[in-house]
Amino acid sequence: MIRILKIGGSILTDKNQEFAARPEEIARIASEIATCADGLVLVHGAGSFGHIPAKRYGLPQQFSPEGMRMTHLSVARLCEMVVVALSQAGVQCLPVHPLSTVMLRQGRIESFFLEPVKEMIKKGIMPVLHGDVAMDASGGAAIVSGDQIVAYLAGELQAEKVAVGSNVDGVLVSGRPLPCMTRDGLSKFKNDIGASAGVDVTGGMKGKLEELLELADRGTESVIFNAGKEGNIVRALRGEGVGTRIMRQK
Ligand code: IP8
């Protein structure tokens, strides 16, 4: 059984300060993951390691090879921290960089070389992917968010569970998490759903919902939960009621 877990960059880093990792949070997340690592694929957000350099170089609106290099190298450093923390917690894992495996067209994944990921899963190794810059055949947008990666992988790997951890208790309306969200819910609450608190070039909570609602349309439900609260990762992966369930319109 394959399960996909996303940990948002807002948990791993301080989104307002470049290169500001949160080592204690990274270590805590790693030890929680270690208790439920079987068949898990991890995707993490870029946090301040990606969004701040991407914004500085005008990505994704402007094509900038230098911006892509600086942003990728920075996000790859965050990925290395996550991989090191996981291995210190006893998890066998390997980094998979989307820049080298994904091809975009107009900002959407057109192809993804997933053989290494599938082989890692077969061998009991946890693949660790992340939001990244990527080449785009249309020459325009060049960022692939962790959320887009999650939705794509969930379909391709036929994931049974998809859990997306952020730093809030789910999809908040007037400060309270909605128990579930559908396409109708998004139209109803679109003006109430907030943007990300820090610098964000991939659309914050709305961007996340668009990816996950599309996944729900294809038949896979997911949950958005607060990964900043201890124990929630295990609860979300077990399907216990934490956060907001993203469901297909009935
Ligand atoms: O943090 C964004 O990924 P996300 C990737 O998952 C970059 O939205 C490079 C900003």
* Ligand 1 centroid – CA 43 distance (Å): 11
How confident is the prediction for the chain on average, in pLDDT?
Answer: 94
Dump strand ranges (E) for 90-243: 93-95, 102-105, 108-112, 126-130, 132-133, 135-136, 143-144, 161-166, 172-173, 176-177, 180-181, 222-226
Segment 68-97, tens digit of pLDDT: 999 999 999 999 999 999 999 999 999 999
Spacing, Cα 45 to ligand 1 middle (Å): 5
> If you measure from the C-alpha of residue 208 to the centroid of ligand 1, how many angstroms do you get, rounded to a whole number?
11
- Residue in 75, 129, 167, 196 to alter for ligand 1 test, most ligand atoms within 8 A of Cβ: 75
pLDDT digits (tens, 9 = 90+) for 136-178: 999 877 899 999 999 999 999 999 999 999 999 999 988 889 9
Residue 199 has pLDDT above 70, yes or no: no
Q: Which residue has the tokens 């608190």?
A: 197
Given ligand 1 and candidates 18, 52, 201, which is best to mutate, with the most ligand atoms within 8 Å of its CB?
A: 201
Report the candidate in 244, 248, 201, 237 with the shortest Cα–Cα distance to residue 6: 237
b/e string for 112-144 if b means 16 or more Cβ within 10 A?
A: bebeebeebbeeeebbbbbbbbbebeeeebbbb
Ligand 1 pocket residue status of 149, Cβ below 6 Å = no
- Note the pLDDT of residue 147: 96
Residue 190 pLDDT: 80
Residues 142, 63: contact at Cβ < 8 Å? yes
Tell me phi and psi for residue 141, to 5 degrees. -55, 145
- Average pLDDT of span 198-208: 76
Instruction: Return d(Cα 207, Cα 223) in angstroms, integer.
Output: 15
pTM for the model:
0.95
101 lines ligand 1 (CB under 6 A): no
Mutate to test the pocket of ligand 1, among 49, 143, 199 (most ligand atoms within 8 A of CB): 143
